[in-house]
Structure formats: C-alpha cells, structure tokens
Amino acid sequence: MFALGTIGLLVRRNLVFTLMSIEIMLNAAGLAFIAAGAHWVQADGQVMFLFILAMAASEVSVGLALLLRLYHQHGALDTDSASEMRG
C-alpha cells in the first residue's frame, strides 16, 4: 500500500521536496514496522519505530541546515526548484 506512495515520492522533486519525500519514506518504513509488530504481537516493531523517529529528526535537522547553507551560497535552491519555492 505504502510502497506506491514511496516509489512515487523518490522520483519526483528536488531539495525541499526531496527532504519531504525522504521523510515520507521513513514514515512508510515505520508504518511497515508497526504493522509487522502488531501482526506478530511483539514490541520490537515499536522499538524500531522509535529509532526511525530519532534518525528522521536528526536527518531532517542536518538536511535543513545544509539547505539553508546552499541557499545562502547560490541564492536559489536549484535552477528547477527555485520556481517551485517561489510559488
């Protein structure tokens, strides 16, 4: 179910959208873990989801810092995504 969303996400956008799609993919993986942990009644799935959560938080903080840095260097995020960013 969520593989569809995940695959669709990876292909599409750049930069801000890339970060968002990475988040969505991590979310899908976490959902798979939770579903598996609920299927076999184990707590391991939720533990793995906690790890995924921590990793997503750290990843997105570093990624956004890099993105700000890039924006300050180049004035735009990309030749493509600048138009997206400005609406």
By the criterion CB under 8 A, which residues form the site for another protein?
A: 1-2, 4-5, 8-9, 12-13, 16-17, 19-21, 23-24, 27, 31, 34-35, 37-39, 41-47, 49-51, 53-62, 64-69, 71-75, 77, 84-87
C-beta of 71 vs 79, nearer to another protein: 71
Q: How far is the CB of 45 from another protein (least distance, A)?
A: 8
Residue type, 45: G
Please spell the DSSP secondary structure of 12-71, one letter per residue: S--THHHHHHHHHHHHHHHHHHHHHHHHTT-SHHHHHHHHHHHHHHHHHHHHHHHHHHHH
